[in-house]
Structure formats: structure tokens, C-alpha cells
Amino acid sequence: MLHGIAAGVGAAFGPSILAERLLASPATNVPLLGNSTPKRIVFFMQNQGFDPKTCIPSGMKNSGSLAKAKLPEPISPLEPYKDRLHIINGLHGLHTSPSHSAFFGALGGYRGSDGVPPSAPTIDYELSKVLPQTLLPHLCIGMDSIENMTTKPTLATLSASGAGQPIFMHSNPNHLYQMLYGGISTGDIRKQHEARTSLMLQIEQFAASKGRALPAADSQRYGQYVQGFKEANGLRDRLGAVSGHLRKFAPEVDERYTNPEFETDWHDRLLDLGISALTSGITNTLTIGSGRGEIFGAWKGLGVEQQGHNLGHMDQPDNPIWIKIRQYNSRMLVRIMEALESVPEGSGTMMDHTLIVYTSNNADKQHTNGANWPVMLLGNLDGAFKSGCFTQLDGKRPINALYTSLLRAAGQNVDRFNMDDKQAKKYDAGNGPLKEVLA
């Protein structure tokens, strides 16, 4: 029993719950846990800032409908989906220190900086706990240059499960494919999956036995690593139990996995895997980090030769480079929506019960103080959020208020997220969720 409890996510649902019941997808033909409505949330974080002029229709100064507005060129791929779009301008993140990036603070709503560990859970993790349970409650994927994704296939900069507990994002699609679909693969992928599984089990057993002799101060940290192996091995077992179901959703493996010409080949493959995890019901919370929360990133596959920090020192409005990057993001958002729209769920589709949150991990621009933090929402999470509109706020409410709104929509009766009374008195002119965005 203690072993099961220690396995965290790997055994948090207990042995009495079948893996088939932890798939939040109508395609499983099994009920969700309890009477929960299937809901899912996607966070898409682009680094280097999100200039409001690249998303707010020209001449639109006040809140209103988007029906007769024309979207700016950088987000023009979203034009057919305006009725599902909500553009929000005027939130702030002054308290997050987002100059180069707020890192964990972007989704945590607290002070963040390069190399500073998270001080509390981030909103994506908190939502993964309250949304209907799934095999993999939270999946993070990170997109960067080929060099960075190869040398650092996992990186933790954006998501966290608690103070000092970062969540790693996956950046090598080959590794992620093996983790999700290795059990249903053939050939070399299958051999690698079996070898990795055997090795991971041996490491877990060895680590668990050797850690018992450590001093108390080291034992706790060491135990976190052991728990990580337990969770990974437990996930493999649970995914193996639903292999028949997963075969319908696994993306096709081609040479762009093993021999990408550009980094965008891997970006697209990672997105495919993230979408498949949603549509198959493996997860209901997906976090995408384009630039992985740092100041790097590359898009040579779009014809953009500049990369990294220099991109953040360019004005984004009317900039052909940023038009290409933002349009690429927008096409990714469309791909997510179209995939979810294609899967029936209840009386509608998966997209009807989904919300996509698009923003940047450092507010409106590079070297910002965070006074304005633009956000786009796509979808309405089963009618919980307004859509087809633009909302202009007065800059007096923090991004934490939006995160409180997300938790309220997910069924949590909370008035604040990661902000105590002292901070709220300084940084929040209101209390509770944003009434301007909730339906």
C-alpha cells in the first residue's frame, strides 16, 4: 500500500480503477470517473513576448464583438474561427518579473527568473488535478532549435507541481512517441521500448534498495528521483493496458522523426503527439512551450534565419519574421481545433468542451515590466467562457485573475490563485474571477 502511495501519479488512482476508465475520450465507450463532464485545457506559450498589435483588430479600442472585425495578418489563419476566439488585453504580470521570461511565474502568477525554482504549483498542473482523471494527467511539450532539443530533450522552465517541483517538458518526438506508443509499435521502436522498459525497471529496483542507507537530508531528494522512475514505469503499464485503443490514435512515424530537415519538422511531430494524447484521452491538460520558456528558439523551416535572443529585440508589428512565426502558431492552434472538432463527444465534439489559452511567457515583449499581458482564448470549455469578442481591461487585474477564472470554470470555488492578501492589495484591484471573460 505504501509503495502504491509513493508512486504518486503512477498509482494515485489505486489498483481498483481500470486503465480503460482513465481515458477522457468518448471513443473508449466507457464512462468517465463519477459524473464528470469531459473537459480539457491547452496552454500554448510563445517566448519573446506577445505584442497586442499583432492580435487586436485595427481601430478596435474598446471591448466588443469580433464578428465584423478583420483579424491582423499575424493571426489571420484564425479568421474562420473568430466566433470561437476571445482576445483579452489589459491584464498585467508586474509581480512576475517577466523581462526575458517569467519562467515558472508565467503560469504560476508569481515572481520567476532564470534558474529560480518554482515557488508554487502552476495553473496547468492545478487544472490537471481537478479535471476528470486520465492516464497521464498533464503532458508538456517544448519546441526549440534542433541543437537544443537534441542536447536537452527534457527541460523544466514553465510548469510545476509545487514549490521546488518542476515538471519537465518533452522536446524529442522520438522519445515522446516511445513513451506514449512504444508498447504498440513494431521493429526498432518496439525493441527500443522493451529495452528501455527493462532498464527502467532495474533502475527503479536498484535505486529503491540503495537509497535506504542515505542520510535523511539526502534521502528526501533521492526519493523524488526514485518516485520518478516508479511513475514512468507505472505509466508504461497503464498505457499497455489500453494498447488496442491507442492504435487508433498513434501518429504515423516517418523520416521527419529520425532525420528532420528543420526544427519545425520536430515541432510539427511534437504537436501531432500532443494532439493524439488529447484525442485518444490519454491526457486532458496539454502545455506547449514554443521556445521552451527561455530566450532561445528557432524557425528556420519557416525561412527565418535569425534565432534566439535577437528575435526578442525586434518590433513585432508589421515585422515579416514575426508574422511568419505568429501565423505558424495560429496554424498550430487551428490544427488542434480541427482535430478535436473531428471527435464526437456527448451531443457535440471534443472541441466543445475544450479551452485553448495562447499567450507568452514574458507578457507583451522582450525586456518588459509586465504591465500588459495579452491573451487569446479559443473555445469556451462547455459554455463557461465568452467567445467571438475582444475585451479591453484597465490593467489593474493580474494574470492570476484569469487563472482563477479557469479554476472556477473547472468547478473549483476559489477567489484567488497563488496570491495572498498582501500581494493582492498591491497588485489586484478586484477579487475572484474575471467577470468580463466568463459567460
Strands 344-345 and 285-290: unpaired
DSSP labels for 82-117? GGGEEEEEEEE-GGG--SS--THHHHHSS---TTPP
- Cβ atoms of 17 and 33 within 8 Å: the answer is yes
Asked whether the predicted pLDDT for residue 334 surpasses 60, the reply is yes
| pTM (predicted TM-score) | 0.88
314 vs 241: which has the higher pLDDT? 314
Average pLDDT taken over every residue of the chain: 86
CATH number, span 40-173+258-427: 3.40.720
Residue partners of 413: CB distance under 8 A and separation at least 6? none
Helix axes 263-279 and 173-181, enclosed angle (nearest 10): 20
Q: How confident is the model at residue 16 (pLDDT cuts 50, 70, 90)?
A: very low
Asked whether the predicted pLDDT for residue 127 surpasses 90, the reply is yes
2 three-class SS:
helix
Q: Which of 159-173, 211-225, 279-293, 405-419 has the lowest mean pLDDT?
A: 211-225
Burial of 303 per CB tally in 10 Å (0-12, 13-18, 19+): exposed
Asked whether the predicted pLDDT for residue 31 surpasses 90, the reply is no
Residue 203's pLDDT is what?
59
Mean pLDDT of the region 331-335: 98
73 vs 24: which has the higher pLDDT? 73
Residue 238's pLDDT is what?
79
Residue 135's pLDDT is what?
87
Can you tell me the distance from the alpha carbon of 99 to that of 359, in angstroms, rounded to the nearest whole number? 15
The residue count for the chain:
439
Dig out the grid coordinates for 271 from the structure.
Answer: 504537436
Helix axes 216-241 and 173-181, enclosed angle (nearest 10): 70
Can you tell me the distance from the alpha carbon of 280 to that of 27, in angstroms, rounded to the nearest whole number? 7
Note the pLDDT tens digit of each residue in 177-225.
Answer: 988 888 666 566 556 655 565 555 565 566 666 656 656 666 655 555 5
Give the residue from 134, 52, 79 showing the smallest Cα distance to 317.
52
Mean pLDDT of the region 53-80: 97
Q: DSSP label at 399? A: H
Report the DSSP beta bridge partners of residue 389. 65, 86
Asked whether the predicted pLDDT for residue 374 surpasses 50, the reply is yes
What sections of 183-285 are H helices per DSSP? 187-210, 216-241, 243-246, 255-258, 263-279
Can you tell me the distance from the alpha carbon of 117 to that of 71, in angstroms, rounded to the nearest whole number? 38
| Vertex 86 angle, CA 363 and 399, to 5° | 35
- Count Cα atoms within 13 angstroms, Cβ side, for 308: 3
DSSP labels for 20-69? GGG---GGG-SPPSTTPPP-EEEEEEETT---GGGTSPTT--S-EESTT-
Mean pLDDT of the region 273-289: 96
Which uninterrupted H or E stretch holds 167? strand 165-170
250 three-class SS:
coil
Note the pLDDT tens digit of each residue in 49-64.
Answer: 999 999 999 999 999 9
Domain boundaries in the chain? 40-173+258-427
35 vs 326: which has the higher pLDDT? 326
Tell me the percentage of the chain whose pLDDT exceeds 90. 71
Residue 316's pLDDT is what?
97
Asked whether the predicted pLDDT for residue 129 surpasses 50, the reply is yes
Residue 207's pLDDT is what?
60
Note the pLDDT tens digit of each residue in 249-261.
Answer: 999 999 999 999 9
Which uninterrupted H or E stretch holds 337? helix 320-341
